[in-house]
Amino acid sequence: MKKVGVLATVLAALAAMAEPSLAQDLSGDWQFKRRAREGWHTGTLVIDKDGQVRQRGRNPFQDYSQCGHVVAVGVKVEIVFTSVKSKHGYSIDHFYCTVQGESALSCFNIDGIGKEDDLFRIERVGGKSGSPDGQMDDVCPAREKPQV
């Protein structure tokens, strides 16, 4: 019985140590296509090595962009947008995802209007990008690097 408890503790510790690397593995360029209340949305996300995310999207009525951050715990990933730019108003998205391998997330969205029931995929475009910093600076202002 003690062996099972020790094994469970060791496995939990290994899983906890693996979690930060999963968040780093999310850095790069991603694309999505999802059905929402007003029709299809398509777009590109860029996640940097610090977990910041920038998104350009399009729905049937307008182009929009969002900025935010990524929270990853195990196989659960939240993409939390904190600001949006649009011409006709847009409710900020909050994607709740499950990792489906190195190159795909299965997600649903909850915005200010409520939960959208359709699941959608976010897929990595090409390989992992080592440093997407600077991409989409026109979407979200570039963050200043801390001075050492």
Residue in 72, 68, 113, 109 with CA at minimum distance from that of residue 90 = 113
What distance in Å separates the CA atoms of residue 36 and residue 29, rounded to the nearest whole number? 22
What distance in Å separates the CA atoms of residue 58 and residue 65, rounded to the nearest whole number? 8
Instruction: Give the count of domains, the chain.
Output: 1
Domain membership of residue 40 (yes or no) is: yes
pLDDT truncated to tens, each residue of the chain (148 aa)? 555 454 455 444 444 444 444 444 799 999 999 998 889 999 999 999 899 999 999 999 999 999 999 999 999 999 999 999 999 989 999 999 999 988 999 999 999 889 988 899 999 996 565 444 555 666 776 655 445 5
Domain membership of residue 132 (yes or no) is: no
- The pLDDT value given to residue 102: 86
Query: Can you give the CATH number for the domain in which 94 is found?
Result: 2.40.128
Domain membership of residue 38 (yes or no) is: yes
Domain membership of residue 102 (yes or no) is: yes
Domain that holds residue 33: 2-124
- HSE toward the beta carbon, residue 63, CA cutoff 13 A: 4
**Alpha helix positions (H), the chain:** 2-25
What distance in Å separates the CA atoms of residue 120 and residue 6, rounded to the nearest whole number? 39
Domain membership of residue 139 (yes or no) is: no
Both tokens of residue 146?
């801390």
Q: How far is CA 57 from CA 50, 83, 103, 131, in A?
A: 22, 13, 20, 21
- Asked if 140 and 119 touch (Cβ cutoff 8 Å), the reply is no
Domain membership of residue 115 (yes or no) is: yes
Residue in 137, 128, 147 with CA at minimum distance from that of residue 23 = 128
- The pLDDT value given to residue 37: 87
Identify any residues that bridge with 3 across adjacent strands, giving them in sequence order.
Answer: none
- The pLDDT value given to residue 25: 79
Both tokens of residue 42?
């398509």
